[in-house]
Chain A
Amino acid sequence: MAQTSAPSQRISRREMASRVPHYATLLITGLLFLAPVAYMVAASLAPASDTLAGFAVFDVTQWGLHNYSGVAASLSSDSTGHLWRFFAVSFTVTIAVVGLGLVVNSMAAYALSRLAWRGRGLALFAILLLLIVPFEAVAVPMFYLYNDARNTLWIQIVPFIGNALSIFLFYSFFSGIPHSIDEAARMDGAGPWRIFWRIIAPMSKPAYASVAILTFLTQWGSFLWPVLMISDPNLRPLPLQISVFAGQLPPAWGQVMAFGVLLVLPVIIVFLIFQRWFIEGVASSAVKG
């Protein structure tokens, strides 16, 4: 550590030089990754005639907000659905699934990892089995079984609350908390609920954050289930609505892209605020294995 300033400067100059290709590569890949996003934003601002006219979308002088007012105007009646409602539906469904899922799945994981009850071994085994059933494998029979609940809000929420992966992630995390901690609390006369809510849950914030983010990412983009179950425009979540909007004839691509920007904007904001949690949450999903 204790170095004179001269060599350290030389090192950093050499390092600087070695960083040039590094930055160049970062910049080029970064631009390639950004291009589709940039295109979406540009197309949402450009006049309709430029959407499919090559580089013309990037002509800043032609940009304006007409597509945004256009999308607000096209989606403002009960027959087409209201712009604000698509957001309300998506937010409600996502928040409810994430929130209820955190409570229900962490409770289950706690019971599985800490409490002694009949059938615990069987339940644990069942969860491990269910871990490999992807939603896609049950979508069709669910479509038939729950057909009476078509076009309701709850059918978009309830099936996704219980989640084997979330239980498993909580279970792994709780198993890493020393038992001496709950022993001590039990000595003080705390029951299992109290121990869970007051001690285990507060200690497990990283696990809650990870599960919340993973659930959020899958739920916000949910598409297959709404395709099968939702035809009422007033209950359509955003991803389904954008595909409906894009399928209209003649397609108003500028407005579709404006809608796309509006759709991702809240998520990007959430992402930027909780960036660290996103990264850690995703990284921890590899624990499953």
Chain B
Amino acid sequence: MLSPRRSRRTAATVGAALSVALMLSACSGDSGDGSSDGTIDVWAHTGQAAETEALQMLVEKFNSSQEDVTANLTLIPEADYTSTIQATSAEELPDVMEMDAPTMAAFAYDRKLIPLDDVVSSETLDNRISGVTESGTYNDATYAVGMFDVGLGLWGNRALLAEAGIEAPATAEEAWTTEEFTANLEKLAEVSPSGKAIDLGEANGFAGEWGTFTTTPDLWSAGGTLMKDGKADGVLNSDDNVEALEEWASWREFADPNTSGSAFQDGQTALTWTGNWMYPTFSEALGEDLALMPLPDFGNGTKAGHGSWQWGVTPVAEDDPEAAGAFLDFLLTDESISAMVEANAAVPGSTSALEQSELYGADKPLELFATNLESACGSDSVTEECIAVARPVTPGYPTVTSSFGSALLAIWGGAEVKDELDSAARAIDSDFSDNNGYQDD
């Protein structure tokens, strides 16, 4: 009979599997309770390859620069990053984690972040540029610190602009009005080899954060905003917003779907609407022909988004916050910031690093982004003077952006603007009322 041998073999297989299982779980360690032995766990999103490499290099440098603290970096894909943190209970989080600026309030509301005012050194905090300070503040406390801030602009190909007889505006005051912008799109479509004048980044998906980040400046510039006093109805679906998005949707006929992923840098389109992180690629491809311009003015002055990836400390590190603080202080030194912004061309997040920057400052290539940030404001107090506007700081932001994004996608596809915005406003308000307005005290 084969049976004893057979069952022994089965038992052996199962036994082997179990012991490997135990081995794996033993050496995988437990994320979450490493802070007391000088080891801290760090989570970050997987960004553009160069950005990720820069971060890995900085962590290594931190670990070899001193002996007290070892940082263990774990990279989580950007697409799942925010959901992953949302799904992880506060005790299971790492000591230090990265987060996208507008999600900070939601994590603070869920008690997944601790105030940094006593964790990070005051020199580091005082050295922040105002945009970074603002996007790290919630309920009057600092919950996040950033190495950089973001710039959003209109990039042009000077050769094609000249061919169409158009001059590129350089400062915020010179921004094209929407009439000028539409007229220019028409002219540029004729000279653009692809027959389309602009890449609006629709390949990135308007339904996601990309949509909210790149189109809210249109609303602010039209005098509207996403929500006010915790309410979206009457604000998100205001006449100003409807008009602005009707205008935006009308650009579709001039928009290149960017099938190659490199339409602008290949000279196929004259314009593209994107952020600082594309600068290294663009400037390498276009050189002197690259122009950075303000976004079009819808009547209330040109606007731009701000608030980027930033760092926070979780309650896991509460017993021994010095280690986490040391790591963040290291990340926010001018040297670290310079290494990072060299990879992503972002606006350096400290005043001293900004001063030394080769990209930002008077007559430097990305001057516009830095000047935009000098006049920054919040989403519910947008004035004509301010340029860089932060997305709403509210724990309900995940719903705001997902509802607004769905509306954008539908509007881009030709749906009635007013109906879509009404629907998004209802969805946001119902989520806020379910959660008691996300009152946090």
Interface residues of A (CB under 8 A from B): 77-80, 85, 88-89, 91-92, 95-96, 99-100, 102-103, 143, 147-148, 150-154, 157, 197-199, 201-202, 227-228, 231-235, 244, 247-250
Contacts and interface: CB of A to CB of B under 8 A. Distances in A.
A38 B21 CA distance: 35
A233 B81 CA distance: 13
Contacts of A250: 48-49
Contacts of B1: 198, 202
Contacts of A150: 87-89, 92
A228 B86 CA distance: 11
A228 B87 contact: yes
Given A95-B13, A202-B6, A232-B31, A154 B75 contact: no
Given A96-B17, A150-B87, A198-B3, A244 B77 contact: yes
25 contacts: A79-B56, A79-B59, A79-B72, A79-B74, A88-B20, A89-B24, A92-B21, A95-B17, A96-B18, A99-B13, A100-B17, A103-B14, A143-B87, A157-B21, A198-B3, A198-B4, A231-B74, A231-B80, A233-B76, A235-B28, A247-B78, A248-B46, A248-B49, A250-B48, A250-B49
Contacts of B77: 244, 247-248
B201 interface: no
Contact of A100 (B14, B47, B92): B14
B24 A232 contact: no
Contacts of A199: 3
A231 B84 contact: yes
Contacts of A96: 14, 17-18, 21
Given A102-B10, A231-B84, A235-B24, 6 more contacts: A78-B72, A92-B17, A99-B17, A147-B88, A244-B46, A249-B46
A148 B6 CA distance: 38
Nearest to B28: A234
A151 B87 CA distance: 11
Contact of A79 (B20, B24, B75): B75
Interface string B1-33: 111101100100110111011001100100100
Nearest to A199: B3
Interface string B118-159: 000000000000000000000000000000000000000000
Interface in B51-107: 56, 59, 72-80, 84, 87-89, 92
Contact of B3 (A151, A197, A235): A197
Nearest to A94: B17
A85 B88 CA distance: 22
Nearest to B32: A151
Given A79-B74, A151-B92, A88 B24 contact: yes
Nearest 10 CB-CB pairings of A with B:
A202-B3, A99-B14, A79-B73, A95-B17, A96-B17, A231-B84, A153-B25, A244-B77, A79-B75, A92-B20
Given A143-B87, A152-B25, A201 B7 contact: yes
A250 B281 CA distance: 12
Contacts of B47: 249
Nearest to B84: A231
Interface string B192-226: 00000000000000000000000000000000000
Nearest to B4: A198
A103 B15 CA distance: 12
A148 B76 CA distance: 19
B46 A232 contact: no
Contacts of A148: 89, 92
Nearest to B56: A79
A77 B49 contact: no
A96 B16 CA distance: 9
A233 B74 contact: yes
A100 B21 CA distance: 13
Interface in B345-389: none
A198 B84 CA distance: 48
Contacts of B21: 92, 96, 153-154, 157
A109 B169 CA distance: 77
A174 B6 CA distance: 18
A80 to B, nearest CB: 6
B56 A77 contact: yes
Nearest to A144: B87
Contacts of B31: 151, 232
Most chain B CB neighbours (cut-off 10 Å) among A78, A148, A249: A249
Contacts of A231: 74, 76, 80, 84, 87-88
A202 B2 contact: yes
A154 B6 contact: no
B82 to A, nearest CB: 12
